[in-house]
Structure 1
Amino acid sequence: MQAFATRYPQVRMVVTCRTRAFTEELQAVLGWPVTTLAPLTLGQVRAFVPAWYGELVAHGHLAQAQAKGLSEDLIATIVGSPRLRAMAASPLLVTLMALLLFRRGTLPRDRPTLYEQILELLLGEWDKVRDGQNLADALGRPDWTTARLRPLLDRLSYEAHAAGSSEDGRGRLGKSQIRDALIEFFEAAKLPEPWGAAGRCLDYMEHRSGLLTPDGPTSYVFAHLTLQEHCAGRHMLLSRDPVAQVLARRGDDRWREPLFLGVGVVQATNPFLVEKVLRVLVDRREQGVAKPLARWYRDLMLAAELGVDRDWTYLAEQQVDVAGLQAGLRDGLVTLLADRDQPLPVAERVRAGFLLGDLGDPRVPVTVEEWQRELARIQAGDLTGYFCKVEPGTYWIGSSDDDPDADDEEQPLHQVTLEQLFWIARYPITNAQWQAWGERRPYGADHDELNRANQPVVGLLWPWCNDFCTWLSTQISATVRLPTEQEWEASARGGDMRCYPWGDEWRDDHAAITEEQEEQETRGWGGSVPVGCYPAGAAPCGAVDMTGNVWEWTASEWQTYSGAATAFTEEDARTLRGGSYRNTKIYVQCWVRITDPFDYKGGLYADGFRVVVAPLIAP
C-alpha cells in the first residue's frame, strides 16, 4: 500500500479492516491517519439498507420494486424492535439481516427463530472456503461443518455471559480458556492431535468474521450481546437438566433474556419441556418445600410472561396444557394482588396486575353470568367476593373547620345516618366490564396507558355511568347504581374520622398518586394501574383504590353540606370522590370532593366510577 501511494500520490486511498488486524506495528509502519468507526445510528441504518439492496439491483439480482419492498420491510422490523435496533448498529449484523431477508423473503417475527437464522449465516462464514481453506479443512475434518461446534459455542456463550466482563455486557473469554475448551472438545470427538487442531481453529477465527471475535491480544467476545444471550439460553435449555438451569438463574435479571430465548429454541421440538418449565414456576412448592412468597410471586410473573412470549395459542396447538397452566397463574396472581403485606414493590405488582388482566382477571365480573354469581355470593353472606358489605349506621362526613387542607365545600365535619345496608364494589369498573356493555366508547379508549382490560375505565360522562347501571340492573334483576357521596365516604372511612382509608396518616405504597409515581420510576407505568394493586390501602369494608388511581363519579348533586358557611346547589353537576393517579396525597383524603358537569369531557384520563348494589335512592 505504501508503494502504491508513493507511485500515485494524487490517488486518495481509504483502507478498511477489522480493529484487531490493524496492530500498533502496522500503524507505525504505515503512518497514515487512523479513525475507528462508530456503531451505525438508526439514520445510517435507514440509508445503508436501501443502498445494500440497490447493489443487488445494479447486479441484476433484484428488481427495483423488490428492493424497495425489502428495504421498507427490514427498516420497519428494525425500528419496531429495540433489540434488533441494537444489533443493527453492527454493520456485519445488519448485513446479515438484509441477506437473510433477501434469501428467504421474510424475517421471522419470533426472536429465537430470527437469531437462529442469523447465527446460521454468521457461522456459515467459517464454512466458506477462503484462501483455499475453510474451518473444516483447518481442523483436518472436511466432513465437519460449524454445526458440529454448536454445543461448544453454546457452552462458551454460557460461560461468557456468567462472566459479563466487557463494557457492553458481553463476557470476555481468555484465549487460553478457549484453547482448553477446544482441546477438551476435540479430544472427546477423537480428533487426532487435539492440541494442534485447537491452535489451528483459534488461528482461523482470528482472521475470519464470525460468532466469536477477538477483543484484544489475549481475549475474545461474541459478535453481539444478543447472540451471546441466545447461545447461553440454548446451553441452558438443551442441557441434561434444563429445569434446574432455569431455577438456578431465574432470580438474576441478566439471565432473563437467555432464559426466554432458550425456551423459544426448544419450543418447536420439545413443547412439553416448555410446559414442564412453566409448571415448575407456577407450582407453590419447590422440591417439596413451600417457596418464599416473594419468590413464588416472581415465579408466577415469569411464567406468565414466558407464556405470552411463546404465544399461549401456539402452545395450545402443540398440546400443552394451557388451560391448566393459566388457571394456576390466575389463582396465584390473585393471591399476589390480595397480599396486604405487599412483599413485592409496586412496579412488580403493577406488572402482575397487567398479566392477570391479559389472562382474564377473575376478581371482576364481566359477563352477566359472573355478575349473577357475585350477586348470589352476597345473598349468601359471602364477604370474600367482588362486593363489600357496608352496614347501616352513623358515619362521619366532611372535614373539620381548622383543617388547612380542606376547602369550604368540604366542611363542616358532620355525621349522617345511613338507614339501609348496601354493598359496594371492591374495585372501580374496569375497561373489560364496560366493554361488555359497549354502548358508549370512553374518551380514553385509544390511550395506550389507560385502555388495558383491568384498568379502571375512564373518560366517561356521568349519564353514561347511569346508563351502564340501568343495563346491568336489568340483566341481573337487582338494583345496581352509583353510590351517593355519603355512601362513598362511609365506605372509605368506616365508622371513624380517619383521613385515609387505612388511618389518619399518609403511608407510602398505599395508593396510586402522583408523588408515588415519580415520573413512572416507582410504578413503572405512567397512567392508571390495574385495579387492586395496593391491597394495603384497603378501606375498612375491604374496598380498594378508594383513594388514588381514578376519580369516581357519585350519584349526588354538587351542593354544600348542611351547616356550611355559604350554601349552594348546582343541579347540572355531580360530585366525584377519591382522587387519581394525577393528584397529590392532599387530594386523595377521604373527605375531598370535586365536581364536574354532566357533559364534562375534561376528565378524560382520570374520571371513572364504581357501583353499589342497594335499594333505589328515594327521590
Structure 2
Amino acid sequence: DKLRGRLPKGVGGEGHPSHPNAISEVAEAHVLSTLEHLDDAQVVMLALTRPELVLEAIYTHRRLVLLGEPGAGKSTALRYLALLLALRLTGVSCRIPGWPDDEAAPIPVVVPLGQVAATLRAGASDAYSALLQVIGDLLEAGVREGLRAHLTTALRNGGLLLLCDGLDELPATTETGRAPRVLVAAALRRLAAETQARIVVTSRVLPYRAEGDWKLLPEDGWTLRTVQPLALGQTWAFVRGWYAALGQHDPDLAQGRAAQRAEALSAEIAQVPRLHPLVQSPLLLTMLAILHYNTNTVPRDRAKLYEECVLLLFDRWEPERQPGMPRERLIERLGLPTLDPLRQVIHELAYQAHLQPPGDDGRGMIGMEALEQRMFTFFKRLGSLADAEVRTQRFLAILADEDSGLLQRRGDEGYALPHLTFQEYLAACHLADQPKMLEEAYQRWCGNDRERWREALLLLMGRLHQQGKAEEKGLPWLKLLSGAKCGRNPKAATQRHWDAVLVARSYRELHERGAFAGSLLDIEAEIETPLAQAATALLHAPDAAITTADRIAAAQVLSTIGDPRYPVTVEEWQAELARRNDHFSQPAGYWCYVRGGSYQIGGWDADEQAAEVALPAFWLARYPITVEQYARFVEVGYAQEAERWWTPHGWKQRENRSQPWGWSNANYNGPNQPVIGVTWYEASAYCAWLSEQLQPSGYVVRLPTEAEWEAAAAYDAQGQRRTYPWGKAKPTPELAIYDASKLGRAAPVGCCPAGAAPCGALDMAGNVWEWTCSHGEGYPARSGQVEADFQQSREYRSEEDVVPLRGSSWRNDRTSVRCGARNRGPPDLYLGNFWGFRVILSPLGIGESPIAENPKAEH
C-alpha cells in the first residue's frame, strides 16, 4: 500500500497494476533510496525470491510427486512439458523454464495410470508388468513401432521422463485382493528403485494426505511438491494473455478491443472478493474467461459457474456462426421444445459415468451401445418408433461431427464428459432431481469410492442452492450428516467423523445462513448446533482416517457459526474455571492440569545445560489465545483508561496502537485462528485484563514461564520427557502445523488432535510461537521465575532479544517442531504473522503477577 502512492500516474490503481513489473520496479527504487539513509549497523540484508515453477521442480527432482487440487493444472503441466520436450527433440528451438538449453532432453512419455489399472484388470500378471506394457504401448503408438525393444535400455540409462498422471484416481479399495492404487504405487516404487528414469506422479491433494499404504515417501527418494493456487497477479497475466491470443483470431477483438475486454474482466475479478477463490483454480479461471468472452458476464458462484459452462457447451453443439446465414439451434435440430428433457438424460449419463471405474483421467466411460440405447428410449417417449430412430442417429451424428460439446468421443471406447469436474457437476444435477436423493447420495458417501464422490456431493449443495431447494432437500442432508445415527442405527465412529467433514463443507457450499434467509427455520437449533457438535467431536478425535485439511475445513465453518471449544465471554470463562479438574491428561474442558514437582528443564542437546526446576501445579489453556478471544480486549485494552493492565514499559510502547499487527488481514483474522502479531507487552496486558475480569480466587491468569511451558509440553504421566509433545514419532502434518502443512498462515487452533501434549494441550508444537514470561538469559536455571516487565528502547537493539518464545510455527521446518526448540525476541516485537501466546492459571504468590510492578495496577 505504501508503494502504491509512488506509482506513476496510469501505472497502477486500486485494482491492479497495468504493467506486471510496476510494483517490483518501484519497490526496488524505494528500498535503495531507504538504504542510502541508514547507518551500517542498521542495514538489513534482503533477498528477493520467487516460488519454484512446476517445470523447474520436474527437472530438479528425479522422483517427484506433484499434488494439486482438482483443476490445478497438474495434467496440463505434464502435457505441456511433454510438448516442449518433443519440440526440442525434433529440432525446434524452444525455451523450457528451469531446463538447461544445452542439455540433452529425455524422451517424455505421458502415462495415464488409469491405463495401467485397466491393463492389470485385463489380465496382466502383475502391476509392474502392466506398467511396462503401457509405457511400451504408448511409445509404439505415439512415436514409432519397434521402440518397445529399447524400453529396458532407455529406462536403465535414464533416457525417459515418465509423466505418470492420476494415481489418486485409481480405486483405493477392492472387494478381493489389493486395491489397484496400492498395486500401481508399488510398481512405481520398484521402477524408481531399479531404473534411472525420471518419474513424476500426480495426485489430488486430499486423497494423498489421507492415511494409506500407496504413498511415495521421501525415504524412498521421492520429493513432494504441491501446485499452489494462482495469485491475483497471475490471474491478470492469464487474462491479458487470453485476450491477446483471441485478438489474433477474432476480428471483433481488433483495434484494442481485446485489451479493453481483458481490463474489464481483470477489474471485475479484483472488485469481487467472492470470485477470488474461484480464479485461484486454472480450470475455473479458464472457464470464467470462456464465459466472459462469450457472454461478457461473470458468474460469482462455483456451481453457477459450472452451470453457465454447461449451457455454453450445449451451445457448442450448435453449428458455427456463418456470416449472413441463419443459425439453427440444437433443440430445433433434434425437434425438442426445450433443452430441459435432454438435460435430464445428460445428467443421468454423467451419473452413470461417475459410477464406472475411473479411466485415465478420472472420467468414466459411456459405452456407445449404452448411449445409443438411452437416447433411443428418450426419443421414443417423445414420438413414434421410426421418429425415435431418426432422431437418435441425428444426435449421434452431431456428436461425431462436432466433438466440442458435453459428450466427446474417446476412440472406440465410447463417450465421456469433457472433464472430470463436468462429470461431477452433472452427476450432482442428477442427484438433485431424484425423489430419494438423500438415500442415494448417502449410499455413495458411505461406499468404497467416498473420495470419488466427495466433489460431486459438494456440488450437489450448490445445485440445490441454485434450485431454491436448500430447505426442502439441503436441510435433511445436513441433519443426516450431523446426526449420530443413520435411521435407527448408530453410526460407526469413523463414519461420524467422515460425515462431520462433509457436513461442514456442505453447509459452506450451500451458502450457510444465506440459503435459509427467507425461511422461518430456527437455523441455530436445526442446523448450526448439531453441526458444531459434530465438527467439535471430529476435532477432538485423533482419527487417522481424517486429514488435517479436512479438520481445518471443519474448523473454518465453526469460525462462522461459533466455535464452542474455547471461552469468549466472561460467563464462558467462569464456566470453564468451574469445570477444571486436577486429573492429568484428562481435561474436562479448556484448562489442562499440570502436576507440581521437580522437572528437568533444558539439556535437550549434548552441549546444553540442564537444571532441576521446582514448579507448583497449574492449569494451561488447551489452545493458544484466538482472535475471537483477543477481540474482547481490543475493545477496551488500548484506551487511556487501560493503563492499569499494562506494564510500565509496555504502556510507553503502546502509543498509537489500537490493535495487534495484522488484525485486519483476512489471512490471519479468522475468529478461531490464534491471534498473531501481538507483542509481549500486549500478551501480558491481556493476561492482566482477563485476570481482573475473572478474579479467580487464589489464582492469577498470566503467561507461562519457560519452565512451565516445557513441563506442560514434554512430560507424560510417568514423568518421562518426550522429544515431541505426542511422543517419539517424527513430525507430520497430521501431528503439527509447520511448513510441510503448506498453509501459508496459522491454522484454526486445535486441528491436530493426534499431536496433543500429555497434559491434553494442543498446538504445543507448530502453528504459532508462544510468548513466555521468564528471562531468556536465565534458561534453564532461572526459567521458572516470572519477569514483571522488560525494557525496550525506541530503536531496536539485538541485546534486547531476551524474551523467550516456545513451540515453533506454521512457517518453520520440522527441525524446530519439538519440545526443546527455543526462540527469542524483543518485548515489542510485532511485525510478524507466526507468533501468539497462551495463558496459564497459576497460584498467587508463585513468582509475581505480570503487572505487579505497576503502581497503578488494581488487583
TM-score range with shorter-chain normalisation?
A: 0.7 to 0.9
With over 3 angstroms needed to count, the CA separation of the structure-2 counterparts of 1:538 and 1:253, relative to structure 1, is: closer
Corresponding residue for 1:388? 592
Distance 2:257 2:537 in 1: 58
With over 3 angstroms needed to count, the CA separation of the structure-2 counterparts of 1:383 and 1:606, relative to structure 1, is: closer
Q: Which aligned pairs between 1:485-504 and structure 2 lie closer than 5 A?
A: 485-492=706-713, 493=715, 497-500=719-722
Deviations 1:140-168 (A, max 9, x none): x4x62332211111111222333475644
Q: Check whether the contact 1:428–1:611 (CA below 8 A) recurs between aligned residues.
A: no
Deviates more, 1:69-78 or 1:421-430: 69-78
State the secondary structure of the residue aligned to 1:555: coil
Mapped pair 1:113 → 2:308: no
Q: Which amino acid aligns with 1:552?
A: E
Mapped pair 1:316 → 2:516: yes
Deviates more, 1:297-306 or 1:581-590: 581-590
Q: Which amino acid aligns with 2:496?
A: W
Q: CA RMSD in A?
A: 4.1
Deviations 1:568-605 (A, max 9, x none): x9964333333444556665554555433322347652
| Alpha-carbon shift at residue 279 of structure 1 (Å) | 1.2
Q: Check whether the contact 2:480–2:486 (CA below 8 A) recurs between aligned residues.
A: yes
Corresponding residue for 1:36? none
| Alpha-carbon shift at residue 468 of structure 1 (Å) | 0.8
Q: Which aligned pairs between 1:80-479 and structure 2 lie closer than 5 A?
A: 81-82=278-279, 85-86=282-283, 94-101=289-296, 106-124=297-315, 135-136=330-331, 138-139=333-334, 141=335, 144-163=337-356, 167-193=360-386, 194-208=388-402, 210-216=405-411, 219-250=414-445, 252-267=450-465, 268-271=467-470, 272-319=472-519, 321-323=522-524, 324-340=526-542, 342-378=544-580, 383-391=587-595, 393-400=596-603, 404-405=605-606, 407-408=608-609, 411-412=610-611, 414-418=612-616, 421-438=617-634, 439=638, 440-445=658-663, 450-478=668-696, 479=700
Distance 1:449 1:191 in 2: 61
Distance 1:127 1:462 in 2: 67
Distance 1:601 1:611 in 2: 22
Q: Which aligned pairs between 1:483-562 and structure 2 lie closer than 5 A?
A: 483-492=704-713, 493=715, 497-500=719-722, 505-508=727-730, 517=738, 520=740, 523=741, 525-560=743-778
Q: 2:242 aligns with which of 45, 54, 67?
A: 45
Q: Check whether the contact 1:581–1:606 (CA below 8 A) recurs between aligned residues.
A: no
Deviations 1:287-340 (A, max 9, x none): 322222222212111111111122112123142553132211211222222224
Distance 2:703 2:396 in 1: 74
State the secondary structure of the residue aligned to 2:773: strand
Q: Which amino acid aligns with 2:405?
A: G
Deviations 1:413-469 (A, max 9, x none): x14152xx5332121111221222224533354666544322222322211111111
Identity of aligned residues (%): 30
Q: Which amino acid aligns with 2:769?
A: W
Distance 1:453 1:52 in 2: 49
Q: Which amino acid aligns with 2:252?
A: E
Instruction: Please list every run of 5 or more consecutive structure 2 residues that lacks an aligned counterpart in the other structure.
Output: 1-236, 639-657, 792-801, 849-859
State the secondary structure of the residue aligned to 1:173: coil
Distance 2:551 2:606 in 1: 31
Deviates more, 1:501-510 or 1:574-583: 501-510
Q: Which amino acid aligns with 1:543?
A: A
State the secondary structure of the residue aligned to 1:556: coil
Q: Check whether the contact 2:678–2:835 (CA below 8 A) recurs between aligned residues.
A: no
Instruction: Please list every run of 5 or more consecutive structure 1 residues that lacks an aligned counterpart in the other structure.
Output: 1-39
State the secondary structure of the residue aligned to 2:409: strand
Distance 1:265 1:591 in 2: 51
Structure 1 or 2, whichever has the larger Rg, is: 1
Distance 1:314 1:504 in 2: 41
Q: TM-score, normalised by structure 1?
A: 0.76
| Alpha-carbon shift at residue 372 of structure 1 (Å) | 2.7
Distance 2:451 2:302 in 1: 18
Q: Which amino acid aligns with 1:263?
A: M
State the secondary structure of the residue aligned to 1:480: strand
Q: Which amino acid aligns with 1:454?
A: N
State the secondary structure of the residue aligned to 2:614: strand
Deviates more, 1:332-341 or 1:532-541: 532-541
Q: Check whether the contact 1:160–1:170 (CA below 8 A) recurs between aligned residues.
A: yes
| Alpha-carbon shift at residue 133 of structure 1 (Å) | 5.9
Deviations 1:106-125 (A, max 9, x none): 43212223333343344355
| Alpha-carbon shift at residue 131 of structure 1 (Å) | 8.1
Q: Check whether the contact 2:625–2:839 (CA below 8 A) recurs between aligned residues.
A: yes
Q: TM-score, normalised by structure 2?
A: 0.57
State the secondary structure of the residue aligned to 2:415: strand
Q: Which amino acid aligns with 2:389?
A: W
Deviates more, 1:78-87 or 1:216-225: 78-87
| Alpha-carbon shift at residue 525 of structure 1 (Å) | 2.6
Q: Which amino acid aligns with 1:160?
A: A
Q: Check whether the contact 1:527–1:581 (CA below 8 A) recurs between aligned residues.
A: yes
| Alpha-carbon shift at residue 224 of structure 1 (Å) | 4.2
Q: Check whether the contact 2:809–2:834 (CA below 8 A) recurs between aligned residues.
A: no
Q: Which amino acid aligns with 1:302?
A: L
Distance 2:665 2:619 in 1: 31
Distance 2:516 2:761 in 1: 36
Distance 1:397 1:503 in 2: 16
Q: Which amino acid aligns with 1:407?
A: E
Q: How many residues are aligned here? A: 553
Q: Check whether the contact 1:511–1:547 (CA below 8 A) recurs between aligned residues.
A: no
Q: Check whether the contact 1:387–1:423 (CA below 8 A) recurs between aligned residues.
A: yes
With over 3 angstroms needed to count, the CA separation of the structure-2 counterparts of 1:178 and 1:510, relative to structure 1, is: closer
| Alpha-carbon shift at residue 282 of structure 1 (Å) | 1.1
| Alpha-carbon shift at residue 81 of structure 1 (Å) | 2.5
Q: Check whether the contact 1:481–1:614 (CA below 8 A) recurs between aligned residues.
A: no
| Alpha-carbon shift at residue 235 of structure 1 (Å) | 0.8
Deviations 1:517-536 (A, max 9, x none): 5x53xx35344333223334
With over 3 angstroms needed to count, the CA separation of the structure-2 counterparts of 1:84 and 1:47, relative to structure 1, is: farther
State the secondary structure of the residue aligned to 2:514: helix
